[in-house]
A and B are shown apart, each in its own frame.
Chain A
Amino acid sequence: MILIFSVSYDPAANAVSQWIEKLGSQSVRINHDEPDLQDIEVSMTGDECSFVINGTRVCLSDFSAVWYRKGLFWVPTAPRKPCFPSEEAFTDYIGRKLTRENERAAEYFHFLVRSKGIKTLGNPFLGDPNKLVMMHRARGLGLDVPAFQITNRLPPALLDEADQYITKAISDGIYFWDAEGAKKGYFSYTENFRDLTQSLIGRVEIPLSFVQEKIDKKYEIRAFYLDGQFQSAAIISQNDEQTKLDYRKYNSKSPNRNIPVKLPLEVEIKLDRLFRSLELNTGSVDLIRTPDDRYVFLEINPVGMYGNLVSVCNFDIDRKIATWLCGD
């Protein structure tokens, strides 16, 4: 039996669940965004953990593999946090405390999974890795990495060469859906540094920001990694003004072409070392192939979407994941 942690709108987990069933195994899926839909009873005693889901009990020892796909990698919790009237600071503190209580319980669960030798796909402690540390490590492993700086100052020299830089979030970019309230989605992408700094000429101090060398593209590459194997696609984004800086600014009227490509073995070996150093056995890698044929590493997303690679490039990633999870 396979345990999958994800979220309700994750099509990858849906497809893999169906493949698991096709391969003759079974799966249990826990979506962290369904606290009202899944009344899950949890009990961790000694070296065993059991869940009661919809009246049926399953134990950790029933599972042969766990896939940390998306979400908080733990049972959903009630969204309501206590509010102490007129005690705003203490209310905030208690909110953080409740979060921490749950995190500690989850950490113990992940410890039990590991100590029982259950195979895992994904790393429960690396859902949101530090991009800066990742780039630092990648450079140390010999990968070509753009020069970057974190700064809260705008020296004239930087402004003079603004065209040579881009900026984006230090952490994950903004990605937020407010389906019930404002009925909007909010996003941020990679932006030209000059566009952001034109209105700031004469200013010296800025909030701590990420500034990175702009890399010319022949095309972008998204590579899916599964336990040492890569499946990669070129994303022809550079010919479209909307997508040339960030292909995620999708042009739905004229979508970027995606073409299967093979990374050079030397690049795959270095990326494999990077994944292993991060204790990750799956994830999506973003790279740029430059006009002078360098392969420049941008980042790894451990829980990245790969649906486009499946649908456009005909990669059988869902089946491969299911096979890996169901294998010995």
Chain B
Amino acid sequence: MHELDLKLLHEADRDSLPLGIRTIYEKEIGDSQREKRIYRIDKFGANKFVIFALEKPISRI
């Protein structure tokens, strides 16, 4: 994780950012971290009705 280079912004755009969000951090998302794991469990039996998706968090800081 590192700071986004705000110098890439036009000065007026940079100056329009409130102080509280003027330091922005960025983190690359690796391919393995973007791997989406979705388990769909559709059980429409008499006593089961579950739909849910599981996905590994994209990343941790």
Q: Does B57 lie within 8 Å of A197, measured CB to CB?
A: no
What count of chain B residues pass the 8 Å CB interface test?
37
Q: Complex Cα distance A168/B1, Å?
A: 18
Q: Kindly list chain B residues whose C-beta atoms are within 8 Å of the C-beta of A169.
A: 18, 20-21
A169: nearest chain-B partner, CB-CB: B20
Q: Does B28 lie within 8 Å of A183, measured CB to CB?
A: yes
Q: Does A54 lie within 8 Å of B15, measured CB to CB?
A: no
Least distance between A51 CB and chain B CB atoms (Å): 11
Looking at A21, A27, A250, the one whose CB has the most chain B CB atoms below 10 A away is A21
Least distance between B20 CB and chain A CB atoms (Å): 4
Q: Kindly list chain A residues whose C-beta atoms are within 8 Å of the C-beta of B59.
A: 177, 185
Chain B 5-38, CB within 8 Å of chain A: the 1/0 string? 0000000000111111111111111000010001
Q: Does A188 lie within 8 Å of B24, measured CB to CB?
A: yes
Known: A53-B51, A169-B18, A210-B18. A184 touches B27 (CB 8 A): yes
Interface size class of A (residues with CB under 8 A): 35 or more
A178: nearest chain-B partner, CB-CB: B29
Least distance between B61 CB and chain A CB atoms (Å): 5
Is A28 located at the chain interface by the 8 A CB criterion? Answer: yes
Contact of A197 among B1, B19, B53, B61 (CB under 8 A): B19
Question: Looking at the complex, which of A6-14, A92-100, A257-265, A269-277 is the stretch in contact with chain B?
Answer: A6-14
B54: nearest chain-A partner, CB-CB: A14
Q: Kindly list chain B residues whose C-beta atoms are within 8 Å of the C-beta of A211.
A: 19
Chain A 164-176, CB within 8 Å of chain B: the 1/0 string? 0001111001100
Q: Kindly list chain A residues whose C-beta atoms are within 8 Å of the C-beta of B4.
A: 186
Contact of B17 among A21, A38, A197, A207 (CB under 8 A): A207
Q: Kindly list chain B residues whose C-beta atoms are within 8 Å of the C-beta of A31.
A: 53
Contact of B19 among A34, A174, A209 (CB under 8 A): A209
Looking at B1, B15, B52, B54, the one whose CB has the most chain A CB atoms below 10 A away is B52
Q: Does B49 lie within 8 Å of A58, measured CB to CB?
A: yes
Q: Does A249 lie within 8 Å of B29, measured CB to CB?
A: no
Least distance between B6 CB and chain A CB atoms (Å): 11
Q: Does B25 lie within 8 Å of A186, measured CB to CB?
A: yes
Q: Kindly list chain A residues whose C-beta atoms are within 8 Å of the C-beta of B29.
A: 177, 179, 183-185
Contact of B50 among A17, A208, A209 (CB under 8 A): A17
Least distance between B13 CB and chain A CB atoms (Å): 11
Q: Kindly list chain B residues whose C-beta atoms are within 8 Å of the C-beta of A299.
A: none
Q: Kindly list chain A residues whose C-beta atoms are within 8 Å of the C-beta of B38.
A: 8, 37
Least distance between B23 CB and chain A CB atoms (Å): 5
Is A248 located at the chain interface by the 8 A CB criterion? Answer: yes
Q: Complex Cα distance A148/B42, Å?
A: 50
Q: Kindly list chain B residues whose C-beta atoms are within 8 Å of the C-beta of A189.
A: 23, 25
Is A1 located at the chain interface by the 8 A CB criterion? Answer: yes
Q: Complex Cα distance A139/B38, Å?
A: 44
Q: Kindly list chain B residues whose C-beta atoms are within 8 Å of the C-beta of A206.
A: 18-19
- 10 smallest CB-CB distances across A and B, nearest first, come from A209-B19, A9-B55, A209-B18, A26-B49, A169-B20, A167-B19, A168-B20, A17-B52, A207-B18, A196-B19
Q: Report which A residues bind B (CB closer than 8 A).
A: 1, 4, 8-9, 11, 13-14, 17, 21, 26-29, 31, 34, 37-38, 53-54, 56, 58, 167-170, 173-174, 177, 179, 183-189, 191, 193, 195-197, 206-211, 248-250, 252
* Subset of 17 A-B contacts with CB under 8 Å: A1-B49, A8-B55, A21-B48, A54-B42, A54-B51, A169-B18, A179-B34, A183-B34, A184-B27, A184-B28, A187-B26, A191-B19, A196-B19, A206-B18, A207-B17, A209-B19, A248-B61
